[in-house]
A and B are shown apart, each in its own frame.
Chain A
């Protein structure tokens, strides 16, 4: 059974930084791309970033490019999202997702999410 467990969310001031983690189990981690998708309170889903199984290919939404960095540790079966220069509009629940790359990303399995609140 695929399990994804996010951590690292919390309250941060505008301009601050936060690092999210997602621990994966139940599948061959290094064989799959991984993504982060976020959902602002009461809003819809927004893709943030994904990276390939090897970690060599990374992609970002324009809204986070240059501020967020996705990475992975295939020995620890963990994917990370380093978030810098945070803004109020980054406030959201952040989900990690096991991703199938069928042309681009399809989100096959999701974690329970971690809430990031950017506020002074």
Chain B
């Protein structure tokens, strides 16, 4: 199985900050990397697919990038509604696997 390692596991940031979350795959997954946002008590929502494609309706402050087996989710200017837990997921091989999550908290 492909292991997905996210870092950090949590971070504290202020409104307006630039936030970067990293996800590393244990082997090559091409660009088959997706990012989800989950707010407390709610279901996850797909934000970004294929490493860098923004899902329709997702604010443009969210972006994704890839370099080899390293993937990055960036929030350019953190907004109050962005405080949540973020998960990466590879859709390159079965079983599909998730990273452990990054909780973004208010500083």
Contacts and interface: CB of A to CB of B under 8 A. Distances in A.
Nearest to B91: A106
Interface residues of B, number: 24
Given A102-B32, A106-B91, A47 B96 contact: yes
Nearest to B92: A103
Interface stretch (B10-18, B43-51, B69-77): B43-51
Interface residues of A, number: 21
Given A102-B32, A103-B32, A44 B44 contact: no
A93 B57 CA distance: 26
A59 B100 CA distance: 22
A47 B32 contact: no
B89 interface: yes
Interface in B70-99: 87, 89, 91-99
Contacts of B34: 106-107
Interface of B: 32, 34, 36, 38, 42-46, 49-50, 87, 89, 91-101
18 contacts: A47-B96, A47-B98, A95-B44, A102-B91, A103-B92, A104-B32, A104-B91, A104-B94, A104-B95, A105-B94, A105-B96, A106-B49, A106-B91, A107-B34, A107-B36, A107-B44, A107-B46, A113-B43
Interface of A: 44-47, 59, 61-62, 95, 100, 102-113
By Cβ-Cβ distance, the 10 closest A-B pairs, closest first, are: A110-B43, A106-B91, A45-B98, A104-B94, A105-B96, A44-B101, A47-B96, A104-B96, A104-B91, A44-B100
